[in-house]
Amino acid sequence: MMAELTRLWHGQLVDELEHMDAPQFWQQVDRLATHLKDMQLSCVAVELDNGLLWLVVDFALMQAGIVSLPLPAFFSPEQRQFALDKARPELIIGVVEQAKNAAQNGIEVWTIGSESIALQPSNLAAPEHAVPQGTQKITFTSGSTGQPKGVCLSAAHMFDVAASLVSRTKVNAPKHLCLLPLPVLLENVAGVYAPMLACGDIYVPSLASLGFDGARLTSPQKLLATISEVEPNTLILVPELLKVLVQACASGWQAPSSLTFIAVGGAKVAPQLIERAHDLGLPVYQGYGLSEAGSVVSLATSGAAGVGEPLAHVRYEIRDDEMIIKAPTFLGYLGEPNTQSQGFATGDLVRMEYGELHILGRKKNQLILSTGRNISPEWPESLLLSQGPILQAVVVGEGQAFLSVLIYCHEAVDDAQLEALIDATNAQLPEYAQIVKTLRLNAPLSTAEGLLSANQRPKRPAINAHFSQQISQLYQE
């Protein structure tokens, strides 16, 4: 695949400091790949911000046949150390600013264009478990209920996904703007590999220049200004970023007319939010995927409420309402036996309607009310989160007669206004799935407290335990 890309891709890569055309990029990749191969490494951790440096390192490791371990900046120190302890890379590639007195500490500085990276020995012992044969990248899942797992993926699997995305979207030679962290598999595969296969240009500004502080978008105006300046054809968003664009458009921001395809994924999106985006002229299409499937399983190309049909390379079945991926399968979790002989049970509840896949929620999250009703909390949650002022919502009610919700919203919203938003949501739900009681949070749920996963999904057992007294009070009133 690398040879094919080298031959076919003739685009350019751009960050806020410089740009590289294809010959310049492949030259830098060849130089670094040769050097890393000479070091006889088996696994390398990558701690770099979005930018040209990240892309050169990513492809150099692939060309050298070295396992890559991307470490997102939003990982907590504990998550970072857990990933390092599991994979035991021999080398950590980071920014030079972090490598004080580099030469004295045995840290090599490598120049790429006008920038530099630090090649720092990790001094970690050899791993206890061998990485599955064929592994090119280890991506750690969010760990929504416990410690994250290292998903081992081959290069062929990731490029199968990318090729299917190019075929599905039919966007040729796109100008793609990366808005999500590149260590996140979705942006890596769908935002880099796919545009390259489509002979496109890729813009990779640093996350700070986009207005991010860690995982949080603290300056939406920077994000919007970059979109306006770059005038991309394609974007990839998580639902929270889609809400930012929708609210901006509703407030008068004019999205570039260049936009032709905006994919949104990472969590369930309320149909109303998709419809609102379309009404405002945003070409938004919902997708579905998971790390174990190489990031994307299906992607819609119409304005329907579902997530489209599975991509061409995916073989699947729906067993007891659960999506089972038959092929291609990932190579296993790092340090665990591979148990995928019958396919990978995703834990996602789905249904197929007229060839369109609909995501109902997570099997393990399903709430069973005392009335005997089974409800996926993601259903009312997605509707609540489609209301602009509501920033976080976690529905509870296991074993109870009705549902309640923990909500964090803008401080400017008073209790009466919040109640009106919940009433508007309930009007879209059957009686058994409506919200009856509300616990308004004074502060947002956070990863630091262990209440959110790295990709901002609620850790439900931890939330139930943390707020057990308050939740219990809801059902005693």
Question: Do residue 49 and residue 94 come from a single domain?
Answer: yes
Quick one: tokens of 367?
A: 């709430």
| pLDDT on residue 127 | 81
Length of the chain: 477
- 248 pLDDT higher than 70: yes
- 214 pLDDT higher than 60: yes
* 100: confidence class by pLDDT, cuts 50, 70, 90: low
Question: Do residue 355 and residue 399 come from a single domain?
Answer: no
Question: Do residue 155 and residue 209 come from a single domain?
Answer: yes
Question: Do residue 101 and residue 49 come from a single domain?
Answer: yes
Question: Do residue 137 and residue 74 come from a single domain?
Answer: yes
| pLDDT on residue 454 | 67
Domain boundary among 324, 342, 362: 362
Domain containing 393 equals 366-474
Q: What is the mean pLDDT of residues 17-21?
A: 94
Question: Do residue 125 and residue 187 come from a single domain?
Answer: yes
* 102: confidence class by pLDDT, cuts 50, 70, 90: low
Residues ≥6 apart with Cβ < 8 Å to 387 = 421, 424, 425
* 77: confidence class by pLDDT, cuts 50, 70, 90: confident
Choice between 385 and 342, residue whose per-residue pLDDT is larger: 385
| pLDDT on residue 455 | 66
- Percent of residues, the chain, with pLDDT higher than 70: 95
Query: Using one digit for the tens of pLDDT, what is the confidence trace for 169-188?
Result: 999 999 999 999 999 899 99
Query: Using one digit for the tens of pLDDT, what is the confidence trace for 131-140?
Result: 999 999 999 8
| pLDDT on residue 477 | 64
**pTM score, two decimals?**
0.83
| pLDDT on residue 6 | 83
Choice between 411 and 207, residue whose per-residue pLDDT is larger: 207
- 144 pLDDT higher than 60: no
* 145: confidence class by pLDDT, cuts 50, 70, 90: very low
| pLDDT on residue 98 | 55
Cis peptide leading into 328, omega within 30 of 0?
yes
Helix, strand, coil proportions of the chain in percent (round to 5)? 35, 25, 40
Query: Using one digit for the tens of pLDDT, what is the confidence trace for 355-364?
Result: 899 988 878 8
> Virtual CA dihedral for 55, 46, 181, 231, nearest 10 degrees?
-20
| pLDDT on residue 90 | 96
Tracing tokens 């036996």 back to the chain, one arrives at 337
Question: Do residue 352 and residue 384 come from a single domain?
Answer: no
| pLDDT on residue 147 | 62
- Report the range of poorest mean pLDDT among 6-20, 114-128, 444-458: 444-458
- 106 pLDDT higher than 80: no
| pLDDT on residue 268 | 74
Q: Provide the domain count of the chain.
A: 2
* 273: confidence class by pLDDT, cuts 50, 70, 90: confident
Of 50, 120, 122, 57, residue with least CA distance to 84? 122
The C-alpha atoms of residue 262 and residue 244 are separated, in whole angstroms, by 13
Q: What letter represents residue 247's amino acid?
A: Q
The C-alpha atoms of residue 98 and residue 107 are separated, in whole angstroms, by 11
Question: Do residue 1 and residue 92 come from a single domain?
Answer: yes
Which CATH number is 149's domain given? 3.40.50.12780
What's the distance, Cα to Cα, between the start and end of the chain in Å?
Answer: 62
Question: Do residue 470 and residue 325 come from a single domain?
Answer: no
Mean pLDDT is highest, among 143-157, 167-181, 204-218, 450-464, for 167-181
Question: Do residue 270 and residue 287 come from a single domain?
Answer: yes
Question: Do residue 224 and residue 373 come from a single domain?
Answer: no
- 411 pLDDT higher than 90: no
- Report the range of poorest mean pLDDT among 223-227, 373-377, 394-398, 405-409: 373-377
Q: What is the mean pLDDT of residues 204-232?
A: 93
Q: What is the mean pLDDT of residues 230-235?
A: 98
Query: Using one digit for the tens of pLDDT, what is the confidence trace for 397-406?
Result: 988 889 999 9
Question: Do residue 102 and residue 248 come from a single domain?
Answer: yes
Residue 193 CB-half CA count within 13 A:
27
Domain boundary among 305, 328, 362: 362
Nearest-10 crossing angle of helices 378-385, 415-426: 130
SS (H, E, C) 22-84: HHHHHHHHHHHHHHHHHCCCCEEEECCCCCHHHHHHHHHHHHHCCEEEECCCCCCHHHHHHHH
Residues ≥6 apart with Cβ < 8 Å to 7 = none
Domain boundary among 344, 362, 380: 362
Please, are residues 75 and 454 in contact by the beta-carbon 8 Å criterion? yes
Which CATH number is 422's domain given? 3.30.300.30
